[in-house]
């Protein structure tokens, strides 16, 4: 199959590589920086614009930073929409606004094409290992058609519902991860300031109802003071922006999401925007004048 | 070994039964209600007061509702302290104040006895199955001496540190569980109000970093609307009282713990105090005028 792939960053590059390794023809675009050598040397075709990519591909995949980037690539000058003809499929794997997604999907559908939102979780590690969790919104038949492609990039692939539902699930994921990080941060900071060894507390708690991937992975980071990214605070702020503006539009009180965002903002203020999101604990530590450290 | 067991409620009864089944002699007290037939029929000795129990036992175990109950049984008239002689061990398996615990431990130590705080997590199910997680504070030698006893009641037994450290770990556990419940509640409510099916969202998210025992168990309860206890809101309120008063004394900001307690208070107000703690979602649902329900 001919697959256009737009957005070859830390996530997009390995994902595109898996599609190519799966036997598909890759169409990419020439941007300011030269196209990735590992993709070109194995046969990727480099084209001039997104609309030329769309004209020549059967499926066009986007993996971009934020909502305005997706909008520009789809509907800007020389964008994807200008090159589409009926029967093609656009898959947006970026993490962007669920509400804007519904609007993009309707505009693409009006051109006779399918649109799927398919954001991922699992980060750079998951992208390299082709073990991403992929949450999909859009038409069931369109989903079935591209499931083999998604399977080359991810291990757990779930259609959540119609257009936007994938992005909605991703926002829910980011709410839960941020609030679980704060749960672990408040719990371990309490234990540490009360004089207990947080490493032993973490170990004991992993056997009960407090157990989570976050307690396991981010809890260890807080104790070992390893805040190299990982998933950056600044990216999680973007995702909680989507949660909080969505809550505003939907009429929804998300009190702990609001506080978690406030703590991420504090992380920015103290120079931790490019640290792993587990650095949220450092905002609480400043207020307590105490670090999570062996008791 | 002769074991005094004081506090034969839903947790204490099966725990005492496991000790008896392990070959130990059980000493219990006659309270207003008659002693549990299943313990008496298999040989438990019924005595008049806690101090007589302490006089005749090698190890005295407490499993009581709250800090004042433990204080009364230890130091009240005819209490445990009055019956102790050097060399005995007191184990408090209740979930109570870490700060009061340090004080109780010092008073018991002054009588030449060992004191261990050993609160549990795992609930009635864990008590029956002898699969409790037990978090212990106190002297290392005293801990080693009673580890065989604790192993009859629990599966994961960790000494966290000195007196009070077990209770501190338990409070940390309750902070993390409450805040993870709120994480799942805010995430699933967002997804549901945005029109996605929360059951599919939960399923997809269990494969990624949002995975937790709470998403698995309490997430399912929120979706299936099963709020029978479980672990009651009222008990979790008691535990967050310990967290928040501890934070006040230690000089610690726990913003999301404070909000979680506010939501539990709201649950009380709307008549859900005896529901499972996953009913916290209902407080958020009231504010959103929307229930977590298939999209």
Per-residue pLDDT at B295? 60
Mean pLDDT of B273-279: 97
ipTM: 0.94
How far apart (Å, rounded) are the C-alpha atoms in residues A24 and A46? 15
Whether residue A194 lies within 8 A of chain B, CB to CB, comes out as yes
How far apart (Å, rounded) are the C-alpha atoms in residues A281 and A214? 13
pLDDT at B294 over 80: no
pLDDT digits (tens, 9 = 90+) for A142-152: 999 999 999 99
Per-residue pLDDT at B103? 98
Q: Residue B160: which of A196, A247, A251 has the nearest Cβ?
A: A196
pLDDT digits (tens, 9 = 90+) for A187-208: 999 999 999 999 999 999 999 9
> B212: which DSSP letter?
B
- Band of the pLDDT at B293, cuts 50, 70, 90? confident
Dihedral angle over CA of B127, B133, B138, B141, nearest 10: 90
Q: Residue B194: which of A213, A217, A250 has the nearest Cβ?
A: A250
Contact B19, B2 (CB under 8 A): no
Percent above pLDDT 70 for chain B: 99
Whether residue A250 lies within 8 A of chain B, CB to CB, comes out as yes
* A87, two tokens: 């029967």
HSE-up of A167 (CA within 13 Å, CB side)? Answer: 30
- Band of the pLDDT at B79, cuts 50, 70, 90? very high
Cα–Cα distances in angstroms (integers) from residue B9 to residues B17, B33, B62, B118, B125, in the given order: 12, 11, 11, 17, 13
Question: Is the CB of A172 less than 8 angstroms away from the CB of B188?
Answer: yes
Percent above pLDDT 90 for chain B: 94
Question: Is the CB of A186 less than 8 angstroms away from the CB of B175?
Answer: yes
pLDDT digits (tens, 9 = 90+) for A258-268: 999 999 999 99
Helix (DSSP H) and strand (DSSP E) numbers for chain A:
14, 9
* B104, two tokens: 């109780």
Helix (DSSP H) and strand (DSSP E) numbers for chain B:
14, 9
Other CB atoms within a 10 A radius of the CB of residue B220 amount to 14
Instruction: Give the dihedral sign, CA B268/B272/B276/B282.
Output: negative
Domain coordinates in residue numbering, chain A? 2-162, 168-288
Give backbone dihedrals phi and psi of A4, rounded to 5 degrees, phi first: -85, 135
Mean pLDDT of A78-102: 97
Question: Is the CB of A288 less than 8 angstroms away from the CB of B121?
Answer: no
| pTM for this prediction | 0.94
Percent above pLDDT 70 for chain A: 99
How far apart (Å, rounded) are the C-alpha atoms in residues B245 and A225? 28
Residue numbers of A annotated as active site: 170
How far apart (Å, rounded) are the C-alpha atoms in residues A193 and B165? 11
pLDDT digits (tens, 9 = 90+) for B248-267: 999 999 999 999 999 999 99
Mean pLDDT of A86-108: 97
Q: Residue B257: which of A186, A211, A262 has the nearest Cβ?
A: A186
Looking at B102, B170, B193, B226, which residue is catalytic? Answer: B170
Residue in chain B nearest A176 by alpha carbon = B183
Per-residue pLDDT at A33? 78
Per-residue pLDDT at B217? 96
SS3 B166: helix
SS3 A281: helix
Question: Is the CB of A288 less than 8 angstroms away from the CB of B253?
Answer: yes
- Band of the pLDDT at B34, cuts 50, 70, 90? confident
Chain A partners of B129 at a C-beta cutoff of 8 Å?
none
Contact B114, B142 (CB under 8 A): yes
pLDDT digits (tens, 9 = 90+) for B159-177: 999 999 999 999 999 999 9
Chain A partners of B117 at a C-beta cutoff of 8 Å?
none
> B276: which DSSP letter?
B
Mutation site for A-interface testing, chosen from B143, B156, B167, B194 by largest number of A Cβ within 10 Å = B194
Whether residue A186 lies within 8 A of chain B, CB to CB, comes out as yes
**H/E run at residue A260:** helix A255-269
Q: Residue A253: which of B179, B208, B288 has the nearest Cβ?
A: B288
Instruction: Give the dihedral sign, CA A225/A230/A232/A236.
Output: negative
Contact B190, B207 (CB under 8 A): no
* B17, two tokens: 């039964």
**Greatest CA separation found in chain B?**
66
How far apart (Å, rounded) are the C-alpha atoms in residues B20 and B22? 5
Chain B partners of A203 at a C-beta cutoff of 8 Å?
158
pLDDT at B220 over 70: yes
Chain B partners of A214 at a C-beta cutoff of 8 Å?
209, 212
| Distance in Å from the first CA to the final CA of chain B | 58
Q: Is A293 exposed, middle or buried (0-12, 13-18, 19+ CB in 10 A)?
A: middle
Question: Is the CB of A204 less than 8 angstroms away from the CB of B295?
Answer: no
Question: Is the CB of B209 less than 8 angstroms away from the CB of A193?
Answer: no
* B168, two tokens: 């501190």
How far apart (Å, rounded) are the C-alpha atoms in residues B79 and B84? 9
pLDDT digits (tens, 9 = 90+) for B126-166: 999 999 999 999 999 999 999 999 999 999 999 999 999 99
pLDDT digits (tens, 9 = 90+) for B221-257: 999 999 998 899 999 999 999 999 999 999 999 999 9
Whether residue B183 lies within 8 A of chain A, CB to CB, comes out as yes
Q: If contacts are CB pairs under 8 Å, which of residues 113-152 in chain B contact chain A?
A: 121-122, 133, 135, 137
pLDDT digits (tens, 9 = 90+) for B110-129: 999 999 999 999 888 899 99
pLDDT at A253 over 80: yes
Mean pLDDT of A133-139: 97
HSE-up of B232 (CA within 13 Å, CB side)? Answer: 11
Mutation site for B-interface testing, chosen from A151, A196, A241, A258 by largest number of B Cβ within 10 Å = A196
- The CATH number of domain B168-288 is 1.10.10.10: no
- Sequential DSSP letters for B81-92: HHH--TT-EEEE
Give the A:B interface size as CB pairs under 8 Å: 276
pLDDT at A295 over 70: no
Q: What is the mean pLDDT of chain B?
A: 96
pLDDT digits (tens, 9 = 90+) for A6-48: 999 999 999 999 999 999 999 999 876 788 989 999 999 999 9
**H/E run at residue B243:** helix B233-250
Whether residue B155 lies within 8 A of chain A, CB to CB, comes out as yes
Other CB atoms within a 10 A radius of the CB of residue B51 amount to 20
Cis previous bond, A230, omega within 30? yes
> B291: which DSSP letter?
-
Mean pLDDT of B90-116: 97
Closest C-alpha to A136, from A173, A161, A155, A107: A161
Contact A173, B205 (CB under 8 A): yes
How far apart (Å, rounded) are the C-alpha atoms in residues B147 and B236? 28
How far apart (Å, rounded) are the C-alpha atoms in residues A36 and A34? 7
Q: What is the CATH number of domain A2-162?
A: 3.40.50.720
Instruction: Give the dihedral sign, CA B153/B158/B163/B166.
Output: negative
Per-residue pLDDT at A32? 67
């Amino acid at each position: 199959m001919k697959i256009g792939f737009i957005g070859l960053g830390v996530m997009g590059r390995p994902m595109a590589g898996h599609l190519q390794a799966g036997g598909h023809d890759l169409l990419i675009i020439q941007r300011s920086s030269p196209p990735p050598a590992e993709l070109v040397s194995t046969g990727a075709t480099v084209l001039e614009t997104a609309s030329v990519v769309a004209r020549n591909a059967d499926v066009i995949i986007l993996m971009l930073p934020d909502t305005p980037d997706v909008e520009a690539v789809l509907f800007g000058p020389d964008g994807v929409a200008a090159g589409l003809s009926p029967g093609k499929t656009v898959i947006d794997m970026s993490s962007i606004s669920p509400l804007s997604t519904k609007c993009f999907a309707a505009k693409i559908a009006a051109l006779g094409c399918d649109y799927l939102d398919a954001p991922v979780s699992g980060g750079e590690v998951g992208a390299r290992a082709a073990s991403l969790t992929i949450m999909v919104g859009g038409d069931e038949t369109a989903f079935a058609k591209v499931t083999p492609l998604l399977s080359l990039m991810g291990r757990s692939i779930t259609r959540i519902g119609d257009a936007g539902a994938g992005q909605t699930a991703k926002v829910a994921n980011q709410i839960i991860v941020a609030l679980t990080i704060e749960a672990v941060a408040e719990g371990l900071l309490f234990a540490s300031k009360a004089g207990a060894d947080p490493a032993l507390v973490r170990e004991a708690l992993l056997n009960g109802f407090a157990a989570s991937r976050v307690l396991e992975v981010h809890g260890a980071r807080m104790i070992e003071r390893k805040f190299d990214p990982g998933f950056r605070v600044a990216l999680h702020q973007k995702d909680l922006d989507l949660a909080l503006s969505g809550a505003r539009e939907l009429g929804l009180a998300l009190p702990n999401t609001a506080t978690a965002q406030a703590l991420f903002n504090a992380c920015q203020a103290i120079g931790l925007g490019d640290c792993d999101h587990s650095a949220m604990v450092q905002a609480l530590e400043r207020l307590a004048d105490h670090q999570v450290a062996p008791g």
